[in-house]
Amino acid sequence: MHRVKVRVAEDALDANATIASANRADFDRAEVAVVNLMSAPGAGKTTLLERVLGDGATIGDGVRVGVLEGDVQGSLDADRLAHLHVPVVQLDTGSGFGGECHLDANMVRSALPLLALDDLDLLIVENVGNLVCPAEFRIGEDARIMVSSVAEGEDKPLKYPLMFRTCELVIVNKVDLLPHVDFDFDKFLYHLHAVNPGVAHLEVSARTGEGVDALRTWLARIPERLGAPA
């Protein structure tokens, strides 16, 4: 039974890679850089986006941002972002996708007609809150960012290594809680660099605003780093 299961999973990942390449080609044509934003449930992805995008339709030097919101059910997160000045599209994995615990390339592809890619320089895709499966499915992104909250404990890179290994930036969020939780920051960084040597990290508090400017700058520079004129 397990051999069959593994084969089905491999077929699904092969199909995903093909569709991810098609997404990638569309993003390249439109000169849009794409970020896959991942974390455990409640790590603060949506609040961070509210903070980063709260001031207008662009970040940095005129970088036009759009958001694709992935959720298992409902449109709570997209509703929270609706007051922002950036285009937000909701992708509900419970409708037509069987309540999947992650976004895959095909789900993202189904949302592309709803996005005016030509009007964007940076598309941020907020994945489903989950530290396992989202890491296995490329969606055609340029960069992966994951958010890890200090309330989750410093052992997470060791317990969910694929997620931490495949990202270009780790946002350590809720640093305002550091005095109130048992989180050994040095140990976290030691574990993080054990699975992803030298990966960049930013210390942020979506609640107090600490580190949000640095994150906005990091995001705004992605299109430039990729050579796509913003």
Q: How far is the CB of 138 from a second copy (least distance, A)?
A: 16
Contact between 41 and a second copy per CB under 8 A: yes
Alpha-carbon span 86 to 58, nearest angstrom: 8
Query: Which of 2, 113, 227, 229 touches a second copy (CB under 8 A)?
Result: 2
Contact between 189 and a second copy per CB under 8 A: no
Site for a second copy in 65-84 (CB under 8 A): 71-74, 76-77
Q: How far is the CB of 27 from a second copy (least distance, A)?
A: 22
| Pick 42 or 56: Cβ nearer a second copy | 42
Residue 122 near residue 222 (C-beta atoms within 8 A)? yes
Alpha-carbon span 65 to 221, nearest angstrom: 12
Q: How far is the CB of 34 from a second copy (least distance, A)?
A: 23
Q: How far is the CB of 9 from a second copy (least distance, A)?
A: 6
At residue 143, φ and ψ (nearest 5 deg) are: -145, 150
Sign of CA pseudo-dihedral 79, 81, 84, 88: negative
153 Rama sector, left if φ>0, alpha if ψ -120 to 50, beta otherwise: left
Q: Is 43 helix (H, G, I), strand (E, B) or coil?
A: coil
Contact between 126 and a second copy per CB under 8 A: no
Residues present in the chain in total:
230
Query: Which of 90, 106, 127, 166 touches a second copy (CB under 8 A)?
Result: 106
Q: Token digits for 57?
A: 């339709």
Query: Which of 90, 127, 130, 196 touches a second copy (CB under 8 A)?
Result: 130
Contact between 17 and a second copy per CB under 8 A: no
Q: What is the dihedral of CA 76, 36, 50, 101, to 10 degrees?
A: 20
Angle at 19 between CA 13 and CA 22, to 5 degrees: 150
Contact between 187 and a second copy per CB under 8 A: no
Contact between 61 and a second copy per CB under 8 A: no
Token match 């790590």: residue? 43
Q: Token digits for 189?
A: 């960084």
Contact between 166 and a second copy per CB under 8 A: no
Contact set with a second copy (CB under 8 A): 1-2, 5-6, 8-9, 12, 15, 40-42, 71-74, 76-77, 96-101, 106, 128-133, 149, 151-153, 155-156, 158-162, 174, 176-177, 180-182, 207
